[in-house]
Chain A
Amino acid sequence: MQISIYRYHPEQDNKPRMQTYEVEEQPGMMLREALLAIKEQDESFSFRHSCGEGVCGSDAMNVNGSNKLACITPVSELKRPIQVRPLPGRPVIRDLVVDMTQFYEQYRNVQPYLIRKEPLPEQEIRQSPEDRDKLDGLYECIMCGACSTACPSFWWNPDKFHGPQALLASWRFLADSRDQATEERLDALEGPYKLFRCHTIMNCVEVCPKGLNPTRAIGKIKDLMLEKSV
């Protein structure tokens, strides 16, 4: 099996190039395993990865034009020749390793933590199973960055638009019956960019390796804003 990989080494290369490697395909092989086989052939090839089972979120990359997690992408399902590139729209540090600083900054910008104003009870804060169900599809985000780096609005305004990942995180707290900062959270999302640069292109939904739906979360934030303004 041939895999063509984006290579760029700032100490040696003026510009990026594609390099093709031959890898022996194994039954059930995931793309990450194929990349590890390439790393054995050529130790100068760099990419991030860790858990190998889709929970740490390290190995998001662009595969045949679509953002995927390498460790849960079977090579058997990929059209040949396989083309692997770094996540789009981010500065490349080396090969498939991109600079995710702005992505993490946008996450930090949405106050991604539970805010509770009342005194805390001696035991747990009660939450009904129904209210807890509202967090399903939100809290499972692994911050791999596949969604935000697939979003044209984030490509153009990564410094101003929060992007689908951070907005999913924002809704995760707005939707939590325990959180007591709804007003501040909504106020902070005002303006033309932070939230409203989402044009429901829905690339984020298509690429999320965990099957989450940031576009729906963004819609719910907009609904809540509308509700609060009347």
Chain B
Amino acid sequence: MPDPLRPIPHRRFDALIIGAGGAGLNAALRLASADLRVAVVSKVFPTRSHTVAAQGGVNAALANVLPDDWHWHMFDTVKGSDYLGDQDAIEYMCREAIPTVYELEHAGVPFSRIDDGRIYQRAFGGQSQNFGGDQAARTCAAADRTGHAILHTLYQQNVRARTHFFDEYFAIDLIRDEEGAILGALVLEIETGETLVIEAKATLLATGGHGQVFRTTTNAFINTGDGMAMALRAGVPLMDMEFYQFHPTGVAGKGMLITEGARGEGGYLINGDGERFMERYAPRALDLASRDVVARSMVTEIREGRGCGPNKDHVMLRLDHLGADVVHRRLPGITDICRVFLGIDPAEQPIPVFPTAHYAMGGIPTDRFARVVAPARHGPEEIVPGLYAAGECACVSVHGANRLGGNSLLDILVFGRAAGTDILQYVAENPNHRPMRDADIEPALTRLGRWDRSGEGESVAAAKADLRKLMEDHCGVFRDDATMAEGVEKLKALRQRVEHVRLKDQSRTFNTARIEALELDNLVDVGMATLMSALHRQESRGAHSRVDYPERDDEQWMKHSLYARDGDRMDYKPVRTKPLTVESFPPKARVY
């Protein structure tokens, strides 16, 4: 598609941010407020980013409703991670949570309030007081539209800070030089089909998750793992990709998210016998056990024949005992979803739910400054010059093997901001753009040009549908060697097939078919990272449940997985068990 007679235009910024969800916008705000020239590239208008769909809230130990302490939050997060989270990063996040939420409130987020005017906080899964004691209430909420409230506020503050937005531009690939430093990215203006090179001293990937790799997902159409796949193609491995969270309460068969806040407000799950089955699986925490625990319990109930409905293929979430006032006031978004998609009022009728693909704990490996780190000559954590990642596409790792509800909005805000702070320093120390040669752009152009091949071939839609079915069948809540090994073979075959997929529509103007083709490439890459990492981890930990290896194995497997695209290689690196200032939490049996 690039015309040799028309050179690709270049634009230069201090920093390039790819993705305009909470992580990207919080980083941008930090940078634009410091008068850096910052470009935010997003394939959708910023407020369409998937942060908008986050419902329940953001965790911070404000202690507005019940006693709380950041150290308890840290304990819960380490335990929730099934001891795979890096404790330095977790300590940093839980400490920073408190000023971060206040900063957001000052920026204008319309949090719900308690009587004395402070921020409302609700109970969420996996939260405790005093290191495993009574239930805590740590999740700061704006009704059940917290993500929407935060994303819009961050966009608004970026309008104020005059951030430079490239709306509806799609990032093709990172551009790197011979030494492996990242120089910016090749992007495609969707409206015109024109390419543009954005040169930057520092580049932040903040592209979110890849739930579209599964057939049924709470994720939006745009969540196609673009940044993760870009990192893979730039030679950066992906970390802990086997840990994919299935949210217990997606609307059965449809996938829309029903926030954990629904259980935080007092809702509970029942099986086909009308039994509150979580009493058997998590006698203390009940329905507010960690998501991995609740999702497995639900699937076990259904597998053992105690599901609800004519096909006994889901369970029910009851809210009808809470009263219409609580349900409609605290959970207005859920009320809407139930009315529109199920034709019911959740204050009167139970909601059919099933564990649904929701969140990637894994991603691009970074340190707690959001700097991307990869194995190189001198060890497993060498900094990739000029490259940052934050949010769901990154793996710091604060979520380890299982993320707690309310910690994802926190992650994007804290590490988006941390990225901004570190980029300020990096740009001060590296004031000049590194030189970019035409040859550095070549790989990105080749990736784009591949879709110019016309002729007969399978459609993008058909290949994508097969991929999503494959991932659901071979990499779900419960896993075993035979199923996953077969999945890997099928996915390798599919990867070959994708080579022969063709675009019929070769036009330039707002060609969404071309975008979906480029996204398909990304989904295949992140799908392979997920399946390969899952196949190789021979233990059960957090969201990764092996029927053939049912126990956690700290001797052999308390380590992070690293998947490299080149040769589909697996590698590993140790967990950082040492926090910054407090004692380490050693691994213990995980009981809720």
Q: Do A and B come from one complex?
A: yes
Q: In chain A between 36 and 57, which residues have their CB closer than 8 angstroms to a CB of chain B?
A: 39-40, 43-44, 46-57
Q: In chain A between 96 and 124, which residues have their CB closer than 8 angstroms to a CB of chain B?
A: 97, 100, 104, 108, 111-114, 116, 120, 122-124
Could you tell me if B159 and A43 are in contact, using CB atoms closer than 8 angstroms?
no
Q: Which one of B340, B504, B509 contacts A9 once the chains associate, using CB atoms below 8 Å?
A: B509
**Could you tell me the distance between the alpha carbons of A188 and B344 in the complex, rounded to whole angstroms?**
44
Could you tell me if A50 and B221 are in contact, using CB atoms closer than 8 angstroms?
yes
B106 partner residues in chain A, CB cutoff 8 A = 114, 116, 120, 124-125
Could you tell me if B50 and A51 are in contact, using CB atoms closer than 8 angstroms?
yes
Which partner residue on chain B sits nearest A37 by CB separation? B461
Q: Which one of B48, B102, B157 contacts A57 once the chains associate, using CB atoms below 8 Å?
A: B48
A54 partner residues in chain B, CB cutoff 8 A = 336, 340
Stretch at the interface among B7-15, B115-123, B285-293, B469-477: B115-123
A51 partner residues in chain B, CB cutoff 8 A = 48, 50, 52-53, 220-221
Instruction: Indicate if B507 sits at the interface (CB-CB under 8 A).
Output: yes
Q: Could you say which of A44, A108, A179 has the most chain B C-beta atoms within 10 Å of its C-beta?
A: A44
Query: 0/1 per residue, B152-173, Cβ < 8 Å to A?
Result: 1100110110000000000000
Stretch at the interface among B31-39, B413-421, B510-518, B520-528: B510-518
Which partner residue on chain B sits nearest A71 by CB separation? B340
A65 partner residues in chain B, CB cutoff 8 A = none
B191 partner residues in chain A, CB cutoff 8 A = 93
Could you tell me if B220 and A11 are in contact, using CB atoms closer than 8 angstroms?
no
B459 partner residues in chain A, CB cutoff 8 A = 40, 43
Could you tell me if A53 and B460 are in contact, using CB atoms closer than 8 angstroms?
no
Instruction: Indicate if A192 sits at the interface (CB-CB under 8 A).
Output: no
Could you tell me if A56 and B52 are in contact, using CB atoms closer than 8 angstroms?
yes
Query: 0/1 per residue, B101-112, Cβ < 8 Å to A?
Result: 110011110111
Q: In chain A between 50 and 101, which residues have their CB closer than 8 angstroms to a CB of chain B?
A: 50-58, 72, 74, 93-95, 97, 100
**Could you tell me the distance between the alpha carbons of A74 and B116 in the complex, rounded to whole angstroms?**
42
Contact A178 B114, CB 8 Å, known A40-B459, A142-B47: no
Question: Looking at chain A's contact residues, is the secondary structure mostly helix, strand, loop, or mixed?
Answer: loop
Could you tell me if A43 and B513 are in contact, using CB atoms closer than 8 angstroms?
yes
Q: Which one of A12, A50, A72, A135 contacts B340 once the chains associate, using CB atoms below 8 Å?
A: A72
B62 partner residues in chain A, CB cutoff 8 A = 123
Which partner residue on chain B sits nearest A178 by CB separation? B108
Q: Which one of A44, A56, A129 contacts B48 once the chains associate, using CB atoms below 8 Å?
A: A56
**Could you tell me the distance between the alpha carbons of A204 and B108 in the complex, rounded to whole angstroms?**
25
Could you tell me if A132 and B48 are in contact, using CB atoms closer than 8 angstroms?
no
Instruction: Give the shortest distance, in Å, between B465 (CB) and chain A (any CB).
Output: 9
Instruction: Indicate if A176 sits at the interface (CB-CB under 8 A).
Output: yes
Instruction: Indicate if B256 sits at the interface (CB-CB under 8 A).
Output: yes
A142 partner residues in chain B, CB cutoff 8 A = 47, 52, 148
**Could you tell me the distance between the alpha carbons of A142 and B49 in the complex, rounded to whole angstroms?**
11
**Could you tell me the distance between the alpha carbons of A114 and B157 in the complex, rounded to whole angstroms?**
8
Could you tell me if B44 and A58 are in contact, using CB atoms closer than 8 angstroms?
yes
**Could you tell me the distance between the alpha carbons of A18 and B219 in the complex, rounded to whole angstroms?**
32
Instruction: Indicate if A191 sits at the interface (CB-CB under 8 A).
Output: no
A124 partner residues in chain B, CB cutoff 8 A = 101-102, 105-106, 111, 118-119
Contact A46 B102, CB 8 Å, known A57-B48, A128-B117, A132-B110: no
B232 partner residues in chain A, CB cutoff 8 A = none
Could you tell me if B510 and A11 are in contact, using CB atoms closer than 8 angstroms?
no
Instruction: Indicate if B337 sits at the interface (CB-CB under 8 A).
Output: yes
**Could you tell me the distance between the alpha carbons of A9 and B118 in the complex, rounded to whole angstroms?**
53
Contact A123 B505, CB 8 Å, known A50-B221, A52-B221: no
**Could you tell me the distance between the alpha carbons of A135 and B143 in the complex, rounded to whole angstroms?**
12
Which partner residue on chain A sits nearest B158 by CB separation? A113
Instruction: Give the shortest distance, in Å, between A93 (CB) and chain B (any CB).
Output: 5
**Could you tell me the distance between the alpha carbons of A72 and B142 in the complex, rounded to whole angstroms?**
22
Instruction: Indicate if B559 sits at the interface (CB-CB under 8 A).
Output: no
Instruction: Indicate if B149 sits at the interface (CB-CB under 8 A).
Output: yes
Could you tell me if A122 and B102 are in contact, using CB atoms closer than 8 angstroms?
yes
Could you tell me if B505 and A132 are in contact, using CB atoms closer than 8 angstroms?
no
A100 partner residues in chain B, CB cutoff 8 A = 45
Q: Which one of A11, A72, A129, A139 contacts B509 once the chains associate, using CB atoms below 8 Å?
A: A11
Could you tell me if A139 and B149 are in contact, using CB atoms closer than 8 angstroms?
yes
B53 partner residues in chain A, CB cutoff 8 A = 51, 53, 55-56
Q: In chain B between 40 and 87, which residues have their CB closer than 8 angstroms to a CB of chain A?
A: 44-45, 47-50, 52-53, 62
Could you tell me if A46 and B511 are in contact, using CB atoms closer than 8 angstroms?
yes
Instruction: Indicate if B535 sits at the interface (CB-CB under 8 A).
Output: no
Could you tell me if A104 and B510 are in contact, using CB atoms closer than 8 angstroms?
no
Could you tell me if A53 and B508 are in contact, using CB atoms closer than 8 angstroms?
no
Instruction: Give the shortest distance, in Å, between A118 (CB) and chain B (any CB).
Output: 11
Instruction: Indicate if B552 sits at the interface (CB-CB under 8 A).
Output: no
Q: Which one of B117, B222, B337, B340 contacts A127 once the chains associate, using CB atoms below 8 Å?
A: B117
Instruction: Indicate if B488 sits at the interface (CB-CB under 8 A).
Output: no
Instruction: Indicate if B113 sits at the interface (CB-CB under 8 A).
Output: yes
**Could you tell me the distance between the alpha carbons of A95 and B513 in the complex, rounded to whole angstroms?**
13
Could you tell me if B507 and A44 are in contact, using CB atoms closer than 8 angstroms?
yes
Which partner residue on chain A sits nearest B342 by CB separation? A28
B160 partner residues in chain A, CB cutoff 8 A = 111, 113
Q: Which one of A50, A112, A143 contacts B159 once the chains associate, using CB atoms below 8 Å?
A: A112
**Could you tell me the distance between the alpha carbons of A25 and B149 in the complex, rounded to whole angstroms?**
35
List 8 extra interface pairs beyond A114-B108, A132-B112, CB under 8 A.
Answer: A43-B460, A46-B511, A46-B513, A49-B221, A50-B222, A52-B220, A54-B336, A56-B48
Residue contacts A-B, CB under 8 angstroms, 16 given: A9-B509, A52-B220, A53-B340, A58-B48, A72-B340, A93-B191, A95-B510, A112-B156, A113-B108, A114-B156, A123-B118, A124-B106, A127-B113, A139-B142, A173-B108, A179-B108
Closest 5 CB pairs of A and B: A114-B108, A126-B117, A113-B156, A43-B513, A51-B220
